[in-house]
Structure 1
């Protein structure tokens, strides 16, 4: 089932994050400065908390975690666990159980078709997806 909706999930995930970024600070340079000062808070009904190189967003029970470091041309980074959490907490998808191997396989197909890119540092390919 996840195969059928993963592109919608990915679009929703990116839109969720981009909406927060725009409300928090539309300028990426200012976003980075502001995020180092305002580590947690609320914007309307959206709760945010920055941690290390990442951020946790929560709105209406939906949990959306993402990373934004190391800085490169891809502004959103996530691991399998973060995407799984987003899917399982979003009641709109109607998915109550999702095995990590199944999600890994689906994300791998998105890497193969160029929708997602894995993070490479030095010669190490990390299980971190970028978009």
Structure 2
């Protein structure tokens, strides 16, 4: 089921980005041009969004999609996925534990579909997230 959840997650993100690219006639990642062509906080087609740093939080029908972009790759934390599950009417009924989600994501790492995301260390301190971070490397696995 985590694969289905990730498929919905990635499909939503790419569809949302396509709306912004189309509206603003750009062919690059919206995180790259949000400061130039539109406000970082707004709405499009019923999706409320807020671009922050290298990422975005988008909300549609009370479902929260939070993610980061590295060049054109989707990156996310376990918390991001947990927020989607927590706010999605269908997925919240699954009552997944953090440990189960982590295990399922690890299985996708073993398949080569996801990778761990490593942050650079500056002055001995790690910057990034508290939770494990993942990078989608085989997006075609999720997009049908």
Match of 1:118 among 116, 119, 126: 116
- Identify if the C-alpha distance between structure 1 residues 94 and 111 changes in structure 2 by more than 3 Å, giving closer, same or farther: same
Q: Provide the residue aligned with 1:24 in structure 2.
A: 20
Aligned 8 A contact 2:31 2:51 in 1? no
Distance, in Å, in 1 between the alignment partners of 2:107 and 2:7 is 16
Quickly say closer, same or farther: Cα 1:94–1:81, change in 2 above 3 A: closer
Question: 4+ residue stretches of structure 1 with deviation over 6 A?
Answer: none
CA deviations on 1:26-67 (whole Å, 9 max, x unpaired) are 5125x2443224211000210000111110000001100000
Q: Which has the higher contact order (CA 8 A, sep 6+)?
A: 2
* 5+ residue gaps, structure 1: none
Cα RMSD (Å): 2.2
Taking structure 1 as the reference length, what is the TM-score of the superposition? 0.82
Paired residues, number = 122
Residue 77, structure 1, aligned to residue 78, structure 2: no
What TM-score, normalized by structure 2, do the two folds share?
Answer: 0.75
- Counterpart in the other structure of 1:128: 133
The 5 A counterparts of 1:4-83 are: 5-25=1-21, 27-28=27-28, 31-37=30-36, 38-69=39-70, 71=71, 75-83=73-81
